[in-house]
């Protein structure tokens, strides 16, 4: 079923249990080649999520700001985007080009993500596609201005959200997890993958 939350289309149950388990394996392969790190913010704090990336570009945050980089902070190029994630992009993105970046966020029980816009990409005609794995997360969606009215939806393991069109620059964030809601990850927590065209 597709649910519209403030213009973001959430495809509930887009991945079955087998596809979710296989994608977790593919994410593990990425993390072995490009270890998770906890990004610093411009103000010197640390984000509560741990991150890494796959694809031509990875998303980085540090004291210098937010940007895309061709290499992991440790030096090597990012590993390839997991095949299942690319398949999902082809199914739901509505565009003919392939994604250039797959940001992988890992949330432990206490992690959250503040309200933000995704605007480090060159072409906002290109959607952002997000895949959720593991514990449910409360996803909050506002409008294109900070501080406006918001709506919330629980994102569950196997859900795919597409942020495109009018909603491409809407503010959004993760308020909290519902710990223990999924058995996909042996130690609990949540993985979110976001796919993007960068240049
Ligand atoms: C998350 N998601 O689900 C954070 N961004 O953990 C995002 O920041 C996001 O879900 C752009 C499009 C869809 C998203
Ligand atoms: Fe985002």
Reported confidence tier of residue 163, pLDDT bands at 50, 70, 90: very high
Alpha carbon of 150 to ligand 2 centroid (Å): 15
Q: Which of 12, 1, 7 is nearest to 172 (CA)?
A: 7
For ligand 1, atom 8, name the residue with the nearest CA: 173
Q: Given the CA of residue 139, which atom of ligand 1 is nearest to it?
A: 3
Structure-token pair, residue 193: 């993958």
Q: Which of 193, 167, 198, 177 is nearest to 9 (CA)?
A: 167
Alpha carbon of 75 to ligand 1 centroid (Å): 26
Of all residues in the chain, the percent with pLDDT exceeding 70 is 100
Ligand nearest, relative to CA of residue 130: 1
Residue 183 scores a pLDDT above 90: yes
Instruction: Calculate the CA 94 to chain-centre distance.
Output: 18
Residue 102 scores a pLDDT above 90: yes
Q: Which of 136, 30, 130, 120 is nearest to 85 (CA)?
A: 130
Q: Which pLDDT does position 43 carry in this prediction? A: 86
Q: Which of 181, 132, 99, 122 is nearest to 8 (CA)?
A: 132
Q: What is the pLDDT of residues 2-40, one digit of tens each?
A: 999 999 999 999 999 999 999 999 999 999 999 999 999
Mean predicted confidence (pLDDT) in 137-151: 97
Q: Which pLDDT does position 148 carry in this prediction? A: 94
Residue 41 scores a pLDDT above 90: no
- Average pLDDT score, the chain: 97
Q: Which pLDDT does position 108 carry in this prediction? A: 98
Q: Which pLDDT does position 8 carry in this prediction? A: 98
Ligand nearest, relative to CA of residue 167: 1
Mean predicted confidence (pLDDT) in 142-158: 97
Structure-token pair, residue 92: 């739901």
Cα distance between residue 93 and residue 89, in whole Å: 5
Maximum pairwise Cα distance, the chain: 42
Q: Which pLDDT does position 42 carry in this prediction? A: 83
> Containing H/E element for 114?
strand 113-116
């Amino acid at each position: 079923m597709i649910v519209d939350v403030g213009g973001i289309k959430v495809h509930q149950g887009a991945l079955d249990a087998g596809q979710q388990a296989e994608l977790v394996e593919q994410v593990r392969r990425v993390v072995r080649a490009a270890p998770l790190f906890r990004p610093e913010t411009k103000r010197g704090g640390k984000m509560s999520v741990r991150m890494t990336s796959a694809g031509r570009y990875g998303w980085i945050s540090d004291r210098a700001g937010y940007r895309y980089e061709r290499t992991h902070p440790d030096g090597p190029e990012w590993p390839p985007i997991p095949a299942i994630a690319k398949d999902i992009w082809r199914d739901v993105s509505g565009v003919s080009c392939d994604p250039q970046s797959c940001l992988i966020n890992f949330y432990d029980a206490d992690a959250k993500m503040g309200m933000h816009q995704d605007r480090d990409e060159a072409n906002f005609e290109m959607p952002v596609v997000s895949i959720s794995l593991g514990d449910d997360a409360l996803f909050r969606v506002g409008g294109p201005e900070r501080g406006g009215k918001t709506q919330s939806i629980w994102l569950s393991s196997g859900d795919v959200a597409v942020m495109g069109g009018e909603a491409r620059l809407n503010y959004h964030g993760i308020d909290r997890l519902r710990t223990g809601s999924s058995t996909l990850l042996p130690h609990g927590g949540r993985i979110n993958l976001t796919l993007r065209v960068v240049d």
